[in-house]
A and B are shown apart, each in its own frame.
Chain A
Amino acid sequence: MESRFFSAARRLITYFKLLEVVPERDESRLLWSRIERDVRRKKRNRKIMAWSWSAAAAVAVAVLCFSLPRNERQSTESGLMAELVVPMGEHMSLELADGSSLRLNSGTRVIYPRSFDNSPEREIYVDGEIFIDVQPDAEHPFIVRTAGFEVEVLGTAFNVNAYSEDSHAEVTLVRGAVRITDRAERVMQLEPDQQAVLNDGGLSEKRSVDARKYVSWTDGVMIFEGEALENVMDRLERYYGVNIIREDSIQISITGSLDLNDSLAEVLERISVIAPIRVSRNEDGYHVYSR
């Protein structure tokens, strides 16, 4: 019995070996010549790409947009996708599977694949504000999708500021290159220190800005240059996750920088020194009055 088993098993292996195909020499050569041609072609293209990448070596963008439809949550429970929601008043860092790193601002929701293997594009979904440093990979474009529009990264690092409650959205490029496609399929490409303004998911304006101001939050600093006090309060509200109730309409603009490591009370105190405002606090948040 034992020797019979040996014999049958060995011969069965022989059987499976016999079923293996043996490629013809010509067939094998032909395939190799295709491979060789395409590898050389790819290396040539890479030299051109390498040049344009260095021009686009670093991207930074700020984007502001709408909420993702909530029913998309379902499809993200599949295990292939992960979701991160940053609590109000907190900030987080995240590294994606491809080595790209993100800074997430307060109240931001991001949905991202656990792995980028097997997909021609690298895509993430954002509701809120992120700064992202994208790992260069010319073959796998990096796309940030928001409910209203999408941003394709042609370089390496950018900032997306896209909170659902705002109908207003911004994409600000610090370095490199990005291409924005809006809801109506209109396309805008940005150069460094340019900002795209979107309303209700539609591109409305391209303007020149000091882009560093829009990503300074990642260093714990907010820089304003002639910014409407109203907008400053919006951003502080979001960053600290606390309500700031505007009791009076205060039409002034401010210039300066704020250290976000300070408490909100300290920050408002500092603003009240340079701006004609008065601040008080009760249980529903901070109240700002003109003085």
Chain B
Amino acid sequence: MDNSLDMSVIGTEDSALWRRIVDGDIDALGVLYDRYYPSLLNYGLKFIADREFVKDAVHDLFVRVGGNRSLKKDVVVSSYLFRSLKNILLNQIQRKRPGQLEAFAFNLPDDDNIFDTLFKSDDKDRELAIALKSALAQLSENQKQALYLRYVGGFSHREIAAMLDMNEQSSMNLVHRAFSKLRKLMGDEKFFLIVCLFLRTF
């Protein structure tokens, strides 16, 4: 935001920010935008790898939020934004690129160069990481999203549950199921115990 911005909104919680947006405060909308633009852009890119297309959807999302007089007052803000963005993307693809509709799915990116840099050929973790990565690709759409939102996005189970339209327990179960499927896919019987430990640690 520019320098004239009321600084009191910067550290404000999402819900308080949201109330100000509902009342028509455009500065509060700007703070929310700054807070979520990077994560929304990244989330959108998982569905369609076209940055300008996703940016247009983010634009539509914030214009809709800022210009909507009958905005819901009680929402989990992060979840509302993520879900709306996905809906807008889906809608825009239906309208503008119907041919790509079938390919519309959540996909984790991959980059061999970065992977090879991170895991050198003599790295003892390399094989395990490759196995994990290919196991991840075989998870269900929701499982992938839940793991991504939890460990890369850093969202709470409450937020993830609202994003994926399920209750909090289901969201936790989803993450657990994703891990046990990973275990099966990797064919490692010991893995289950490790996973339980892992879940607690993160």
Contacts and interface: CB of A to CB of B under 8 A. Distances in A.
Interface stretch (B8-16, B125-133, B156-164): B125-133
A12 interface: yes
A17 B152 contact: yes
Interface string A1-40: 1101111110111111111111100011001101110111
Contacts of A15: 114-115, 118-119, 129
Contacts of A4: 124-125, 128
Contact of A35 (B62, B115, B125): B62
B125 A8 contact: yes
Contacts of A28: 34, 37-38
Contact of A36 (B26, B42, B119, B124): B26
A32 B38 CA distance: 12
A288 to B, nearest CB: 51
A278 interface: no
B87 A31 contact: no
Contacts of A36: 26, 30
Contact of A11 (B42, B108, B129): B129
B38 A42 contact: no
Contact of B132 (A8, A18, A117, A118): A8
A11 B133 CA distance: 11
Interface in A86-126: 117-119
Nearest to B92: A118
Given A7-B125, A31-B58, A23 B37 contact: yes
A2 B197 contact: yes
Nearest to B109: A19
Chain A contact residues: over half helix, strand or loop, or mixed?
helix
Tier of interface size on chain B: 35 or more
Contacts of B33: 32, 35
A32 B129 contact: no
B90 interface: yes
A235 interface: no
A135 to B, nearest CB: 9
A13 B90 CA distance: 27
Nearest to B190: A1
A46 interface: yes
A283 B2 CA distance: 81
Contacts, number: 107
Contact of B118 (A5, A14, A31): A14
A54 to B, nearest CB: 14
Contacts of B34: 28, 32
B87 A117 contact: yes
B178 interface: no
A43 interface: yes
A11 B51 contact: no
B118 A35 contact: no
B55 interface: yes
Contact of A6 (B87, B108, B119, B198): B198
Given A11-B119, A13-B152, A15-B115, A35 B198 contact: no
B125 A38 contact: no
B59 A35 contact: yes
A280 B48 CA distance: 71
Contacts of B173: none
Given A7-B125, A21-B45, A28-B37, A34 B108 contact: no
**Cβ-closest 3 pairs across A and B:** A42-B67, A39-B66, A8-B128
20 contacts: A8-B128, A8-B132, A9-B198, A11-B129, A12-B132, A16-B109, A16-B148, A16-B151, A19-B109, A19-B111, A20-B152, A23-B38, A28-B38, A32-B30, A34-B59, A35-B29, A36-B26, A36-B30, A42-B66, A118-B94
